[in-house]
Structure 1
Amino acid sequence: MQQEYAGDVLSETTDVLFEEKGHAGLIILNRPKALNALTHEMCVVMHRQLERWLIDDAVHHVLIKSNSEKAFCAGGDIRQVAENGPENIDKSLPFFADEYRLNTYMESYPKPLIALIDGIVMGGGVGISVHGAYRVGSEKTLFAMPETAIGFFPDVGGSHFLPKMPQNTGMYCAMTGERLKQADCYWTGILTHAVKRDDMAALEEALCEAQDVEPVLARYAFDPGPAPLHAKADVVDECFGAESTLEVVDRLRKLLGSEHDDFAAAALDTISKRSPLSMEVAFQQVRRGEGLSMKDCMIMEHRIVSQILLGKDFYEGVRAVIIDKDHAPKWQHSSLDEIKTVDVEAHFMSPKGGDLVF
């Protein structure tokens, strides 16, 4: 696509805008009505622009922000993927391949990447923020990886960052889609800095003017206070540090009637509504991702998505949650007990079209 220049503003699609300001390059997510849900084109143009800025000595660091008051980025635009159906997987896989290449490129980007997260950050939005050097979140930050609710899995590098979260809280988030606010995000390492929403604009200006971003970030950062997730981290660790999904469920059931009854009952209720196959795949994904490089994690996730798109649960999940909104999906399996090892392992084999190439 022909690149258009308008002063310092560079644009290839109005869904994401690029600007050079002071010492910074700015990536501005600009689909507010869609909560900045990522399209294939958005992923491609962001990757291209980062490559351009890498060799531009005038750009010392890159900021990524949102034009939406509600969301940084609520995820990938998966409705179109679902509408393509399993018979058109060749139309859907390139989106994920390019998204995963972008995630991987951002994780190893030589210049500081700073995500300014003010609002919802889920799924694909996590993938374009959490892998950068700095993740700055306001009190409106709301993080989640809710993919198992639609028969999918916590991709975009979930297998890389979720195992790094303390006391198996990453596994807890992968399996339940738990929503975390600012203090939880800061404690778990999803955020590197917590700031006040009223200071976001001033912080952005200061970052653009600065050559060294760390003193600026330190100046605006504050302690968000106790993390609610930290208060229950020991019981999370005990339950979600189990060696299998069935053992997770068993440990939660044993807590019913105890002082942790509310936590256990809520987790069990959530797990019972998720796609059993997605739960098994997500569990294995997080366990296997621990210790792997980002590239190896993304090769694994590309294998998973290649198999997921051939199955039934993803399409049924999108129908139930996003299209019809009846929230009554009919999963391929009725419980975790029905899942066979061979069904899970198929998600970790090289796909027919070959592994992801960077």
Structure 2
Amino acid sequence: MPLRAKVLNPTIGSRAQMSTSPVNETIKELPGDEARDVVFNNLYGLRTIELNRPEKYNALNASMIRKIVPRMVEWEKSDLANVIVMKGAGDKAFCAGGDVATLAQQNLEGPSGQRASAEFFALEYKLNHYIATYQKPYIAFMDGITMGGGVGLSIHAPFRIATERTVFAMPETTIGFFPDVGASFFLPRMDGAIGTYLALTSDRLTGANVFYSGVATHYLHSTSLPNLESRLAELRFKDYDSMEKRLGIIEMTIEEYATGLPPKEPILLGGELRRAIDRCFSKQTVPDIVLALQEEQGPTKAWAEKTLHTLFQRSPTAVHVALTQMQVGRDWSISETFQREYEIAAKFMQHPDFVEGVTARLSKESPAPIPKWQPANLKDIHPDDKIDAPFFQTASGVPTLKLLTARDYDEYPYKAMGVPTEKDVQRVVQDSRRTPQEVVEYFVTSKGGRQGISTIVEEILNRKTTIDADGRALWDSEEAQ
């Protein structure tokens, strides 16, 4: 069965995309919003959104969201807007996250401030869901720091372009929070236990490894982005062109500007390290993960010791919540994801770890103070405590999040635009008797020769297959994650 990059039918699954335009409410600027924190530009059929707070690493705030949403709504309705690009000003960051300092300060004001913080997340998640279900081609230039709120603006896009300057992370457990902005949907669907590992540890991926991991769909050098923008502006679509055809044209256009992957930047989350991640982070409880890390030997022992040290620095509450989130989020639809995350976020605004973590993280003292978490340490939590349970219970007083549209799905309708997954490779290996080289050639051809595909498929084959007497690849007995 060919795996040619294509958009899956959005009606696949138990929940289908619905509605063609925002239906629930109008979001607009308010008096006092910053004047130029977002810059919009039109060039032929291209529409660009530039986050314009470079001095704050383009951290996302409510003022920016209130500008972005109505413009995206306008463009979705317009026949003149063909492609939307989201990018960040400056050369440091796409978007380093949400403006958590403001939220922490609000929380210190008590219940009213905590409600105001929750309202920010409601606004942010509405934008994230709208991006995830947007019905025009949307491209995120993940050039520079892409963390937290920046991930919400990029990870749900059909096209996510990493560069040599990209630094990706979901750093929430470092500040007493949980991986939000739709991470409950994206991370559990990554290969193996990679998503759980990134969620609990807040580990970073950089440059080409953002692409190798599947977080990005393409890798370009940052100097290529202006030329790509100009080329995207020249694209013309026919009125009757399907979204599938339009995305296919854009996919080929992006690859025109590929100049090669860094030769000295191998796949990080592969080989023995990847095996160790799957061994340790596929466990069902935090104590079992800790125990598995303690038992690691051989070439991954040093990694395991470092990872243990990292976990014990994180908010114990956040680590437990994040693990449960990774286990239940894989069954949430995209709409349910943001509704459930909103409830969890509102509860974290009432938890002392968030203010404690943000204050310590943003402290200018040297060295920065060590957060005083409540509870203080992973070792202080008994398995029967179930400190994560209250965050997943629907509580009175937390309003239901009303999303901008009724669109919904269970799997990304455009996931074939990304890199091959382990399940993709497994299917080809098991459905046909091919040599490893033939499997690699199959995927390179199906992806139109996209750079880096052979490297990704070769790593999967080396780790997950053996070779029979005829030189054919055999998938190992362990089921692909």
Same fold per TM (> 0.5)?
Answer: yes
The answer to whether the Cα contact below 8 Å between 2:280 and 2:293 also exists between their aligned partners in 1 is: yes
Deviations 1:165-201 (A, max 9, x none): 2121111111111110122211221111101122111
Query: Aligned pair 1:330/2:372, yes or no?
Result: yes
Structure 1 partner of 2:209: 184
- Residues 1:20 and 2:62 aligned together: no
Residue 359 (structure 2) pairs with residue 319 (structure 1): yes
CA contact (8 A) 2:97 2:147 kept: yes
**What is the distance in 2 between the residues matched to 1:85 and 1:280?**
22
Name the counterpart of 1:215: 252
Moved more, 165-174 or 347-356: 347-356
Aligned partners of 1:89 and 1:161: how far apart in 2?
27
The CA deviation at 1:209 is: 1.5
**Mean alpha-carbon deviation: is it higher for 27-36 or for 315-324?**
315-324
Question: Deviations 1:302-345 (Å, cap 9, x if unpaired)?
Answer: 11111111111011111111135524011111222433545311
2:56 paired residue number: 34
CA contact (8 A) 2:163 2:208 kept: no
Distance 1:346 1:187 in 2: 36
The correspondence for 2:150, drawn from 122, 125, 129, is: 125
What letter matches 2:154 in structure 1? S
One-letter identity of the residue aligned with 2:294 = R
1:239 and 2:264 aligned: no
SS in 2 for 1:304: helix
Pair 1:356 & 2:398 matched? no
Counterpart position of 1:259:
299
Mapping of residues 70-85 of structure 1, within 5 Å: 70-85=92-107
Residue in 1 aligned with 2:23? none
Give the conservation status (yes or no) of the 8 Å contact 1:167–1:234.
Answer: no
Amino acid at match of 2:400: D
Q: Could you tell me which residue of structure 2 aligns to residue 8 of structure 1?
A: none
The 3-state SS of whatever aligns with 1:58 is coil
**Aligned partner of residue 227 in structure 1, secondary structure:** coil
Of residues 336-345 and 94-103 in structure 1, the stretch that sits farther from structure 2 once superposed is 336-345
Is the Cα–Cα contact under 8 Å of residues 85 and 138 in structure 2 kept in the other structure? yes
Tell me which residue corresponds to 1:248: 289
Structure 1 residues 178, 49: closer, same or farther in 2, change over 3 A? Answer: same
Q: What is the distance in 1 between the residues matched to 2:260 and 2:182? A: 27
Structure 2 gaps of 5+ residues are: 1-27, 237-248, 404-481
Preserved contact between residue 143 and residue 166 of structure 2 (Cα < 8 Å): yes
SS at match of 1:136: strand
- Residue 117 of structure 2 aligns with which residue? 92
- 8 Å Cα contact 1:124-1:156 kept in structure 2: yes
2:87 aligned to 45, 65, 68, which one?
65
User: 1 CA distance for matches of 2:325 and 2:313?
Assistant: 20
Q: Secondary structure at the match of 1:229?
A: coil
Give distance in 2, aligned partners of 1:252 and 1:322.
30
1:133-176, CA deviations, whole angstroms, 9 ceiling, x for partnerless residues? Answer: 10011111110111101101111111011112212111111111
Give the helix-richer structure, 1 or 2. 1
Please give the alpha-carbon distance, in whole angstroms, between the structure 2 residues aligned to 1:45 and 1:348.
Answer: 32
User: CA contact under 8 A between 2:101 and 2:358: conserved in structure 1?
Assistant: yes
For residues 178 and 161 of structure 1, the distance between their equivalents in structure 2, rounded to whole angstroms, comes to 16
User: Which structure 1 residue ranges, 4+ long, deviate > 3 Å from structure 2?
Assistant: 337-342
Match of 1:163 among 159, 177, 188: 188
Q: Deviations over 1:81-140 (max 9, x none)?
A: 000125121211111001001000100101111011211100000000111110011111
Change (3 A) 1:345 1:2: closer
Q: Distance in 2 between matches of 1:210 and 1:221?
A: 18
CA distance in 1, matches of 2:333, 2:92: 33
Contact 1:187/1:230 (CA < 8 Å) preserved in 2? no
For the structure 1 residues 335 and 184, does the alpha-carbon distance in structure 2 shift closer, same or farther, using more than 3 Å as the test? Answer: same
Question: Is this contact kept in 2: 1:184–1:230, CA < 8 A?
Answer: no
TM-score when normalising by structure 1 = 0.93
Instruction: State the shift of 1:284 in Å.
Output: 0.8
- Greater RCO between the two (CA within 8 Å, min separation 6)? 2
The answer to whether the Cα contact below 8 Å between 2:115 and 2:346 also exists between their aligned partners in 1 is no
Give the whole-Å Cα distance in 1 for the aligned partners of 2:105 and 2:298. Answer: 45
Cα–Cα, structure 1 residues 2 and 194, in superposed 2: closer, same or farther, change >3 Å? closer
1:134 is aligned to: 159
Deviation at 1:355, TM superposition (A): 2.2
In structure 2, which of residues 385, 388, 411 is the aligned counterpart of residue 344 of structure 1?
388
Return the offset for 1:354.
2.1
Corresponding residue for residue 7 of structure 1: none
Aligned in 2, Cα 1:174/1:2: closer, same or farther, shift over 3 Å? closer
Q: Higher Cα Rg: structure 1 or 2?
A: 2
- Bigger drift between 160-169 and 222-231 goes to 222-231
Give SS of 2:373's match: coil
TM-superposed CA distance for 1:48, in Å, is: 1.3
Give the number of aligned pairs.
350
Query: Which residue does 1:172 correspond to in 2?
Result: 197
Q: Does 1:194 align with 2:219?
A: yes
Letter in 1 for 2:323: F
Determine the structure 1 residue equivalent to 2:136.
111
**How many angstroms apart in 1 are the aligned matches of 2:174 and 2:140?**
26
Structure 2 letter corresponding to 1:106: I
Aligned to 1:43: 65
